[in-house]
A and B are shown apart, each in its own frame.
Chain A
């Protein structure tokens, strides 16, 4: 599965305040959820990807590489929602065909399509956030603008810093098991067994590492005062308000003009 990651660039989207981006995504997600039609999420999806490509200067291959496996996953979701749609709510359904115990009607297919496009629109929102937000700025903005207690803001940064170490850690544990002659099995049961064998040592190491880092931080008097100052300060400026207004107005306009079809 293609994981999302930060794409370094200096664009309008990259310079926005991370907390504002989070707020915009939150509002967009709520509006998209209240829109029952397939047009609103569909058009929003296209516009988001276009903005990411043109304004955010994120190359198309980066966008496609991380999204295509997720696009495939929406197909079964579409099928499930189409088959189990509550047709009792529709006054006069346009029935297409019957398939065993299921009835497929035009209304249920439209709802299934709307929900699948909603998933894709949400994925586009996530991709927009992750590719254009540096993790450090994100943590700083959580502390400075969203008023998350700074201990947790830094804890998030520490956790992010540890990500590459987990792969090393896993390799070490695998090697340790191999040296002791514990082989790896394939198939379902093997997967389950490996999960049990690796999960506890991995988590135990996570705990030990956390404790060591926390001791180091404590010894440097981290967290003694309730307030602190920052070398880098983030602000909410005019471009953030402009972005907020443009996105919400566009979304509401789409919903208003197309949502009733």
Chain B
């Protein structure tokens, strides 16, 4: 099966499976039997988590075909970004007053946290790069001692999985600004879904909607656009001479 197709099929199947299980438990068998009542937000959250983890699962087999060079580069990039992510927590705390204006607007600085899962695929251009880099960056951030703890690892996996779907949808061939911005936006949706599960289930729906919009925009700009800037900056530095990204820019010249 084609690599990109497998990612998408796995994503779809796992997402559909999770949705059907929730539907059966909450609607068909109902609150009286299973004690679960239907909630459209929960349904969407579970389905998106299923889609993202399905994408990560589908791409897992590809990892055995990576070259050593790509694996080492992904891990090192992830480590640097993981430490930057930990530092970004400070910005996140400084941005707190934004929430006093309109609750949820603070999430417009969230997009920075998707960078690892966008820069790595932009450079390495292999199936699985988004999932691996974002998850490893989350691992580094977790082990360095972030306040969000183990949930980061799940966040990283889901954010990477969502970005992976976009790269797969383009057949792992197109790595332009629009691809990166879409991938960032998708990661933004994934991030809110995980945060809802762990932290925000008690918040008002309108606050959640503002958060969702803020994260999609922020993922596209602070994630996607910035990833492109960083990637192109690295090409100019000449360090990426042996990677696909530099070959492409040489062809242009």
Which of A's residues lie within 8 Å of B, judged by CB?
Answer: 1-4, 25-26, 29, 33, 66, 70, 73-74, 76, 80-81, 84-86, 88-89, 111, 115, 118-119, 122-123, 125-127, 129-130, 149, 151-152, 154-156, 158-160, 162-163, 166, 199-211, 213-215, 217-218, 222-223, 226
The contact sample of 24 A-B pairs, CB cut-off 8 A, is A26-B150, A70-B145, A73-B89, A74-B147, A76-B96, A122-B148, A126-B149, A151-B68, A152-B63, A155-B68, A155-B72, A158-B76, A159-B136, A166-B83, A199-B230, A200-B234, A203-B77, A207-B234, A207-B240, A210-B75, A210-B77, A215-B69, A217-B72, A222-B68
Nearest CB on B from A92, distance (A):
17
**Complex: A39 Cα to B233 Cα, angstroms:** 50
**Complex: A233 Cα to B32 Cα, angstroms:** 50
Within 8 A of A (CB), among B61-117: 63-64, 66-69, 71-80, 83-84, 86, 89, 93, 96, 99, 103
Contact A158 B150, CB 8 Å, known A85-B202, A163-B79, A200-B234? no
Check B72–A203 contact: CB distance below 8 A.
no
Check A207–B73 contact: CB distance below 8 A.
yes
**Complex: A141 Cα to B132 Cα, angstroms:** 18
Check B69–A211 contact: CB distance below 8 A.
yes
CB-defined contacts of A66 to chain B, threshold 8 Å: 145
Residue B146 lies at the interface, judged by CB distance under 8 Å to chain A: yes
The 10 closest A-B pairs by CB, nearest first: A122-B149, A4-B145, A155-B75, A214-B69, A204-B239, A159-B75, A159-B79, A204-B237, A210-B73, A155-B71
Nearest CB on B from A120, distance (A):
9
Among B66, B143, B207: residue with most chain A CB under 10 A = B143
Closest to B106 in A: A80
CB-defined contacts of B199 to chain A, threshold 8 Å: 81, 115, 118
Contact A200 B72, CB 8 Å, known A81-B202, A86-B204, A122-B151? no
Closest to A112 in B: B202
Q: How large is the interface on B (under 10, 10 to 19, 20 to 34, 35 or more residues)?
A: 35 or more
Closest to B233 in A: A200
Residue B13 lies at the interface, judged by CB distance under 8 Å to chain A: no
Contact A201 B145, CB 8 Å, known A84-B103, A156-B75? no
Closest to A123 in B: B149
CB-defined contacts of B103 to chain A, threshold 8 Å: 80, 84
Residue B197 lies at the interface, judged by CB distance under 8 Å to chain A: yes
Check A159–B76 contact: CB distance below 8 A.
yes
**Complex: A84 Cα to B96 Cα, angstroms:** 14
Which of these, A125, A151, A200, A215, contacts B150 with CB under 8 Å? A125
Check B66–A29 contact: CB distance below 8 A.
no
Check A33–B197 contact: CB distance below 8 A.
yes
Q: A149-B64, A156-B139 are in contact. List 4 more A-B contacts (CB 8 A).
A: A130-B143, A154-B71, A159-B76, A160-B79
Nearest CB on B from A77, distance (A):
8
CB-defined contacts of B67 to chain A, threshold 8 Å: 214, 223
Which of these, A25, A123, A127, A152, contacts B71 with CB under 8 Å? A152
**Complex: A156 Cα to B145 Cα, angstroms:** 17
